[in-house]
Amino acid sequence: MKKTYILLAAVMVVLVSSCKQTETVQPQKVDIVDAVFASGYVIYEFEYQVTAKAEGYLVSSAVEEGNRVEAQTPLFQLSNEVQGEQLANAQLNYQDAVKRLDKQSPDLIKQETQIEQAKAQVNLEYKNFQRYEKLRATNAVSKADYERVKLQYENAKSNLALQETILKDLINSLEISAKNAQSQVVIQKETNADYYLFSKIGGEVLNVFKEPGELVKRGEVVATFGGGKKLAKLFISEEDISLIATDQKAVLNLNTDKKRTYTGRIQRIYPSFDSKEQSFIVEASFEELPITLYHNTQLQANIIIDEKENALVIPQEYLDQKTNQVRLENGELQPIKVGIRNTQWVEVLEGLDDRSVLVKPEKL
């Protein structure tokens, strides 16, 4: 990759031949452009891979290359018979746990019955205890009989408290079971969802790597997607990257349409050198898009660094590149101050005018 330049306005240089066939030239005024050349290709602003989170055979594919989809569109389904059964079992367990927690469930009705019976026993024992208390006050019953009835009453109360505690523990246990069963349903649903692949963003399907019936392994890429704007990804040489800045104009030429050029703007400069590409990378947006623009289309770009209208220029071959001097027709060496350079021309900022006559550098 190297730095080159383009010229926006071509001119004809009048060559004057002397009787000795010495080639001379006069500075001319032209429109000149300084640009950095870059090659690259078309990319999407956002590109991502659809990766399998589970292993299974590809059962169905809802898209193919070139399709455009919205975000969260179902794309692929993997076989999930075993996981489907686990989800169904989890749902059945949850339904059973909810039923057992219902007030009309056999377990709760049984325990409520135990409590009602304990309450009735407490009421019976209490009445009997009150009767014995009155009889004891008149010594109509022995102390032993009184203590026996009192103990029966206390036991009845303890049994009631026990049955109520059992009910609370049972409800708590059933609630925990229901929550655990519900959590298992959520977990199994999430696991089951891994067998269904969706698009994360809206965009175009770029590649589909699997056909129905093929085995897809966990972590394997099934498809790639592109979304957002289409951009030009450009590779810049190390010696030129310092000349590049955001918002610079880029003239883009697509390999699929070499007869036209498109205008773009540098919108992003990657901060590090890409060792794989052996280049720095920049991205340019298109100010105007072709009717058809394919992903990964190869292109060339000239990034405009500087441009000037009606600049005074001389041909490159008339300048001594080491000393920035030219030889005038009278034989004198004339130092000049140069501006924009390209493969054809050198801009003259100081030292010459359009009346100067120069000798070709072979004569220097």
Query: Which pLDDT score is estimated for 347?
Result: 86
Q: What is the mean pLDDT of residues 309-327?
A: 87
pLDDT in tens, 81-94: 888 899 999 999 99
DSSP letter, residue 54? S
Cβ neighbours, 10 Å, residue 348: 21
In sequence order, which residues have a C-beta less than 8 Å from that of residue 20 and are 6 or more positions away? none
The Cα–Cα gap between 74 and 65 comes to 15
The Cα–Cα gap between 322 and 197 comes to 64
Query: Which pLDDT score is estimated for 14?
Result: 38
Query: Which pLDDT score is estimated for 6?
Result: 40
What's the pLDDT band for 200 if we cut at 50, 70, 90?
confident
Query: Which pLDDT score is estimated for 22?
Result: 63
Is residue 235 within 8 Å of 39, Cβ to Cβ?
yes
Which residues are 348's β-sheet partners?
A: 338
pLDDT in tens, 204-252: 999 999 999 999 999 999 999 999 999 999 999 999 999 999 999 999 9
Query: Which pLDDT score is estimated for 362?
Result: 63
Q: Rounded to whole angstroms, what are the CA distances from 359 to 78, 127, 250?
A: 78, 137, 36
Query: Which pLDDT score is estimated for 310?
Result: 84
Instruction: Give the predicted TM-score (pTM) of the model.
Output: 0.63
Q: Rounded to whole angstroms, what are the CA distances from 200 to 63, 71, 183, 242?
A: 14, 5, 26, 37
pLDDT in tens, 23-33: 888 898 888 88
The Cα–Cα gap between 306 and 283 comes to 19
Query: Which pLDDT score is estimated for 61?
Result: 93
Query: Which pLDDT score is estimated for 9?
Result: 36
The mean-pLDDT minimum among 145-159, 276-290, 314-328 falls in: 314-328
